[in-house]
Structure 1
Amino acid sequence: MFTPSTVGKALDNIHLLLWDFWLTLVNLIMPRRKVGAVVPVGSAGYAGKWPEYIEPKEGDSRSCCPGLNALANHGILPRDGRNIKFTDMAEKVHTTYNFAPTFCRFVPTYAANMLGRSYKTDTIDLAELNLHNGIEHDASLLRQDAHFQSDQSKPDLPLIRDFLSFATGKDATDKTLILTPADLSRFSAKRRADSAAHNPEYTLDYFHKMFGSANSSTLLCIFGGRVDDLETFLMEERIREGWEPKALEHSGITFVKFNRTAVAVEKGIKEDLPEFEREVKEGGGGTSPV
């Protein structure tokens, strides 16, 4: 049955899609942002100058999302990670990472709906994003499954090292290792096979599979897959001095562009790869906590 609430959400989604299509067209017409000035003038991180990084202290709220945690660690969002307006979260993600306003609106709106709150008027503590099978899900590339890791706010460093070791690409200029879409697909396949074999509560529906591939695709769209930048970002949840988004689009990364990468990553995931099946059977998966 249709209700005013469901109709309103449907209209919001239609508006968001039309807006995203328009921004995609704008990106085709308008000049790209200049290297060194991707972050807007007056915003934290302009010209690669980031606010002081301070590790979270006891009592601070952190999430399963390294991007949001980094914003709090640098004071771009409140350092305690608490009482953050959904609208402020959207704005800071846009200016820091150059995601299009549509993407920055969609994710906080999804989180607000997940928690039964209003995107326009309410607030969130970062740890509330750790609700299992909300945004957080099994077979993550950066955290062990909730069955094994109760505190999803902290990165699993051995898992991240394993993930980064899958990089096969190299930057044409400085030969820095780079993660490719195929690398993300291969490691995602390994994580899913490992979780399915060891986690008795393992669940990963189609929505969360796509959500996971979309999350991992940000590492390509925004960081260019560069391992040197990602090592700091993922393990310390810190933005390196001098870093700026690799996405130069005038209006930022839209859903239209972003989804092309996410779909390619998901299509490349072969969960029945013999090498991973063999590793799991022999207990040599490398990422399992058991």
Structure 2
Amino acid sequence: MFLITPIVNFFQNLLVFSWDFVLTIANILLPKLKVGHVVPAGHPGAGGKWPEYVPPKEGDSRCSCPALNALANHGILPHDGKNIKFNEFGPIIRKSYNFASTFCFFVPNTAANMLKKSYSKDTFDLAELDLHNGIEHDASLTREDSALVPDQGKPHLPFVRELLASATGKDKDGNALLTIKDLSAYSAKRRVDARKTNPNFSLSRSHKTFGSSNSSTLLTILGGRVADLETFLVEERLPEGWESRVRTRNGLTFGAFNVTVFKVEHGINEKAYEEKLAKEGGDAKTAEV
């Protein structure tokens, strides 16, 4: 019994990532989806027309992921965030955000395994995803650590505002953009600050990768556009007319996504931020990146 699950997971993951490679190559060869046609016809959000946004009410379940909370706030996932089927979860993410099918199987399946539930039979509430040091981790860019604020369902707005204010990029029309360098710098700041303020701080190598993966969606799916990110991160709402900036036919694959993740994580330099603090004689909670 104990040998079967690791073996099954190994071959399952081998199949997923082999298929992901095929999808990545196909995306290079196939024409991109036209602007305005990323969300498929008939799915909520097609043509940029998202269902009504309704903020969560008391008793609704939310988690530390703004993308999932936004889908619940628009009623694409159950508005109360409860009793979501693992095997129906992935297709909703696929159609709403244009993640690849491999991504949309692997993540819910990983969550099911983390919660010791069946991917094919069981359900979950969004808040369950915040099992500490499962997928949720310390030094989030939009949440205080769970040791300080156990309820991870709401963004910590000072962090969000500081992150958006750190944007240094511009698009061709002069609109503000977050860049890879910006995300790396702010991630370094959050890791140093969290270590100083959270006596139970922990961040393993795998959770560092999770952190950089989470932040990389801001550059890929959301294109780093600060105007969109403000609505998305502050209100956890999808802007009217918005669609995923990923227009590849098979969606955002691990093969493509991990290029951005690697660049973000590789650029994180906690030592440089600590040296800057020491030089300025500042406080990790107030020093600018």
Q: TM-score, normalised by structure 2?
A: 0.96
Tell whether 2:216 aligns with 1:211: no
**Where do 5+ consecutive residues of structure 2 fail to align?**
none
Q: What is the CA-CA distance between 1:101 and the residue it aligns to? A: 0.6
CA distance in 1, matches of 2:254, 2:46: 24
1:75-108: CA deviations, max 9, x gaps?
Answer: 0001110000012211111001100011111111
Aligned partner of 2:78: which letter?
Answer: P
Aligned partner of 1:220: which letter?
Answer: L
Q: Indicate the RMSD between aligned Cα atoms, in angstroms.
A: 1.6
Aligned partner of 2:103: which letter?
Answer: F
The residue aligned with 2:252 is: 253
Aligned partner of 2:200: which letter?
Answer: E
Contact 1:224 1:246 in 2 (8 A): yes
CA distance in 1, matches of 2:83, 2:281: 45
The residue aligned with 2:93 is: 93
The residue aligned with 1:120 is: 120
Q: What is the CA-CA distance between 1:2 and the residue it aligns to? A: 6.7
The residue aligned with 2:177 is: 178
Cα 1:230–1:276 change in 2 (3 A) is farther
CA distance in 2, matches of 1:206, 1:280: 29
Q: Give the alignment of 1:37-48 within 5 angstroms.
A: 37-48=37-48
CA distance in 2, matches of 1:259, 1:272: 24
Q: What is the CA-CA distance between 1:280 and the residue it aligns to? A: 9.6
The residue aligned with 1:135 is: 135
1:47-85: CA deviations, max 9, x gaps?
Answer: 100000000111110011010000000000011100000
1:29-60: CA deviations, max 9, x gaps?
Answer: 21100001011111110110000000011111
1:10-47: CA deviations, max 9, x gaps?
Answer: 11100101110111121122110000101111111011
The residue aligned with 2:28 is: 28
CA distance in 2, matches of 1:280, 1:159: 21
Tell whether 2:201 aligns with 1:202: yes
Which secondary structure state, in structure 2, belongs to the residue aligned with residue 221 of structure 1? coil
Aligned partner of 2:278: which letter?
Answer: R
Which secondary structure state, in structure 1, belongs to the residue aligned with residue 271 of structure 2? coil
Which secondary structure state, in structure 2, belongs to the residue aligned with residue 219 of structure 1? coil
The residue aligned with 1:264 is: 263
CA distance in 2, matches of 1:110, 1:4: 16
Which secondary structure state, in structure 1, belongs to the residue aligned with residue 152 of structure 2? coil
Which secondary structure state, in structure 1, belongs to the residue aligned with residue 15 of structure 2? helix
Aligned partner of 2:175: which letter?
Answer: T
Cα 1:146–1:77 change in 2 (3 A) is same
Q: What is the CA-CA distance between 1:283 and the residue it aligns to? A: 2.4
The residue aligned with 2:83 is: 83
Q: Give the alignment of 1:43-82 within 5 angstroms.
A: 43-82=43-82
Aligned partner of 1:10: which letter?
Answer: F
Q: TM-score, normalised by structure 1?
A: 0.95
CA distance in 2, matches of 1:73, 1:155: 14
Which secondary structure state, in structure 1, belongs to the residue aligned with residue 218 of structure 2? helix
Contact 1:197 1:280 in 2 (8 A): no
The residue aligned with 1:11 is: 11
Contact 1:193 1:280 in 2 (8 A): no
Q: How many residues align?
A: 286
Contact 1:190 1:276 in 2 (8 A): no
Contact 2:277 2:283 in 1 (8 A): no
Contact 1:144 1:156 in 2 (8 A): yes
